[in-house]
Amino acid sequence: MSLNVKHLNGDSTFLLTFSPKHSQPSPYDQQPPGTFSILVDPWLSGPSTMWHPKFLYSKHTVASCISNLSHIPEPHVVLISQEKPDHCHEATLRQLDPTSQSTVILAQPAAAKKILAMKHFDPSRVHALPTFSDRKPDSVVRFYIPPISPGGLPGEATIAYIPAKLDVSGLHNAIGITYRPPSAAVSRPVNFSLPTPPLNSTFEYTREAPRPQTMPPNPPLTPPESPNQRTSTISSSTATASEPSSPLSPATSTTTNITGPSHSASASISSMYSFTASRPIPEKTLSLIYSPHGVPYSLLRPYASSHLVSAAALPLTALLHSFDRVENPWWLGGNVNAGLPGGVEIAQNLMAKCWISAHDEDKENSGLSVKKVVTRKYNSAEVREMIAKGKGATGVAVLDCGEELKLRA
> Which pLDDT belongs to residue 334?
81
Cβ–Cβ under 8 Å, residues 105 and 127: yes
Cβ–Cβ under 8 Å, residues 329 and 369: no
Three-state DSSP class for residue 201: strand
Cβ–Cβ under 8 Å, residues 35 and 17: yes
Strands 14-19 and 36-40: antiparallel
* 409 residues of the chain, pLDDT tens digit each: 999 999 999 999 999 999 998 766 555 556 889 999 999 999 998 766 666 666 666 777 888 999 999 999 999 999 999 999 999 999 999 999 999 999 999 999 999 999 999 999 999 999 999 999 999 989 999 999 999 988 889 999 999 999 998 887 788 999 999 999 998 765 444 333 333 343 333 223 222 333 333 333 333 334 334 434 434 455 544 433 333 333 333 333 333 343 333 333 333 323 333 333 445 556 789 999 999 999 999 999 999 999 999 999 999 999 999 999 998 888 777 889 999 999 999 999 999 999 999 998 877 675 666 667 788 999 999 999 999 998 889 999 999 999 999 999 8
**Nearest-5° Cα angle at 321, 78 to 409:** 75
Superfamily grouping for domain 2-185+282-408 = Ribonuclease Z/Hydroxyacylglutathione hydrolase-like (3.60.15.10)
- Tell me the domain boundaries of the chain: 2-185+282-408, 189-278
> Which pLDDT belongs to residue 52?
63
Please give the model's pTM, rounded to 2 decimal places: 0.77
Closest CA relative to residue 320, chosen from 299, 350, 294:
294
